[in-house]
Amino acid sequence: MAPKVLVSDKLSETAVQIFRDRGIDVDFEPNLGKDKDRLAEVISQYDGLAIRSATKVTEKILANAENLKVIARAGIGVDNVDIPAASKKGVIVMNTPFGNMITTAEHAIAMMFAVARQIPEASASTHAGKWEKSRFMGVELTNKTLGVIGAGNIGGIVCDRARGLKMRVTAYDPFLSEERADKLGVRKVELDELLEKSDFITLHVPLTDQTRKIIDADAIAKMKPGVRIINCARGGLVDEAALADALKSGQVAGAAFDVFEVEPATDSPLFNLPNVVCTPHLGAATTEAQENVALQVAEQMSDFLLTGAVTNSLNMPSVSAEEAKVMGPWVKLSEHLGAFVGQMTDEPIKAINITYDGAVAEMNLAALNCAAIAGVMKASNPVVNMVSAPVIAKERGIQISKTTQEKSGVFDAYIKLTVVTDKREKSIAGTVFTDGKPRFIQIKGINIDAEIGGNMLYTTNKDVPGIIGTLGQTMGASGVNIANFTLGRSNVGGEAIALLYVDNPIAPDVLAHLKETGLFESIQPLRFDVA
């Protein structure tokens, strides 16, 4: 029997025809996603579900999805899919992360032109019958300095387009290698230099704890007077209230925003200010982009349903059903190892080296490699998955190597991951115990046995008395419950590490208090996806 797919949101007829041409039975009901009860009623009939943003795939829907094997989102965002519930149900969730890159980059360039020449205000004035030619004095883009914060896929396209406009382009991106910067034709700088010297600043980074309000009052104060700021990436990257104050004072000459801290944005400190261009999250809103992601969804789903190939999956490695049962814990371990090193690295990565020792060396190493690389890359780009991560790593000039070896220690199998930068190497090793749970077994060459939790704290220090007491007392006084506490040292009086598994994220003031003690060389909160 042919696989059966439901398209419950608006998808192009061309995409729907791809399913038919490849022998898949498809029902095209573009308004069904809005009827949750009926979707729950019929979902059991289908092997695949193709959606956009209108369909909400909840745990209730999934509970009835007895035959569903794959959900594919035409677009990058999957906030409308309960991924943990889908994973538990054994349903693959796919997206199309590369279909709207050019469209979003072009929108940023268009917004830069608009704010440079005050086009929206001039248009409104002229429509009103006014002829205020002297009021709208603009600036050229030629020979101006554009500061690009985030030079990944979309940011890289913006760099290329800006160079075509004869702009001087600088980029701040901790994961941008010198080789990649040379290829883009941009100058790699630190954030402070970018802020100080840019005439225009455009943001192209995901919203993470590290990037939230990366442009705040302090950052704005460092900028060149008369700077213009463009944000077509994510709401929350810029402190809108601080920017509004800077626009009123003249420190910032203009701003162009496609995204806002709260969306839909019905109110914002930026609204109704002069020379502020606002659009309602139109970055991906072109006919071409919508067609591209629709075609990609149809191809990806067809490939999976007909051949078992998994592309752009957010919750499953590229492994067969037989391998998945054995490899599941090792895939999770690989992700955790990558996530640890990724969160500990804030400089360009030159290489990722992975060693597979013992029994694990006989597994599907391509999938484990992808999981480890994705773990590293997610620290700077949360939407990366096991398919897109190697592509992004290659674009950034990161060399990936794997080594296999026969059992060489006390463990039947382990994985060691090493990240290489210009300044240092960072390594961590782990294994899977007989209980199926991943463990960290070595950090920086120091042996440990650490259970992995969602929220952790990693510290380094000299092996001196008082460390355990300071950590325990500080956590206790701050109401932070410690689930597990692991220590290790290189030798008596030498380098020592601590890894705490805690119940909740550790507040910044707690970290500040630990730093103030002067006992620790480094203090790093960590997050792991243990679902």
Annotated catalytic, 127? Answer: no
22 has catalytic annotation: no
Same-domain check for residues 306 and 330? no
Dist. CA 324–CA 345, nearest whole Å:
30
**Spatial separation of the C-alpha atoms in residues 390 and 307, rounded to whole Å:** 22
Residues 269, 382 within the same domain: no
> Could you give the CA distance from residue 65 to residue 62 in angstroms, rounded to a whole number?
5
Residue 318 has pLDDT above 80, yes or no: no
Check whether residue 42 and residue 181 sit in a common domain: no
Residue whose tokens read 């162009």 = 256
Q: Which of 399, 431, 394 is nearest to 412 (CA)?
A: 431
Output the pLDDT for position 328: 83
CATH number at residue 68: 3.40.50.720
Instruction: Note whether 309 and 324 are same-domain residues.
Output: no
Q: pTM of this prediction?
A: 0.73
Tell me the pLDDT of the chain averaged across its residues: 92
Same domain, yes or no, for 297 and 347? no
pLDDT confidence band for 510 (50 / 70 / 90): very high
> Tell me, what's the pLDDT at 317?
63
Q: What pLDDT score does 488 carry?
A: 94
Please check whether residues 34 and 124 belong to one and the same domain.
no
* pLDDT (average), residues 315-330: 71
From the candidates 228, 234, 336, 439, give the one annotated as an active-site residue: 234
Per-residue pLDDT, 435? 85
Are residue 196 and residue 157 in the same domain, yes or no? yes
Residue 501 and residue 465 share a domain = yes
Rounded to an integer, the average pLDDT of 472-497 is: 93
Could you tell me the strand order of the sheet in which 92-94 lies?
Answer: 25-28, 4-7, 48-51, 70-73, 92-94
Q: Is the pLDDT of residue 391 over 90?
A: no
Contact 165, 141 (CB under 8 A): yes
484 burial type by CB count under 10 A (0-12 exposed, 13-18 middle, 19+ buried): middle
**Residues 259 and 398 placed together within one structural domain of the fold:** no
Tokens of 401: 């190597």
Q: Are residues 263 and 335 in the same domain?
A: no
Q: Do 272 and 394 fall into the same domain?
A: no
Q: Residues 92-146: pLDDT tens digits?
A: 899 988 888 999 999 999 999 999 999 999 999 999 999 999 899 999 999 999 9
> What pLDDT is stored for residue 114 in this prediction?
98
Is the pLDDT at 354 greater than 70? The verdict is yes
Q: Which CATH number goes with the domain that contains 516?
A: 3.30.70.260
Pick the catalytic residue: 263, 288, 347, 362?
Answer: 263
pLDDT at 387 over 80: no
513 part of the active site: no
Letter string b/e over residues 454-463, b meaning 16 or more CB atoms within 10 A of that residue's CB: bbbbbbbbeb
Catalytic, out of 163, 168, 212, 281: 281
Per residue in 168-207, pLDDT (tens digit) is 999 999 989 999 999 999 999 999 999 999 999 999 998 8
pLDDT digits (tens, 9 = 90+) for 291-305: 999 999 999 999 889
Residue-wise pLDDT for 35-45, tens only, equals: 999 999 999 99
Helix residue ranges, H only, 308-346: 321-344
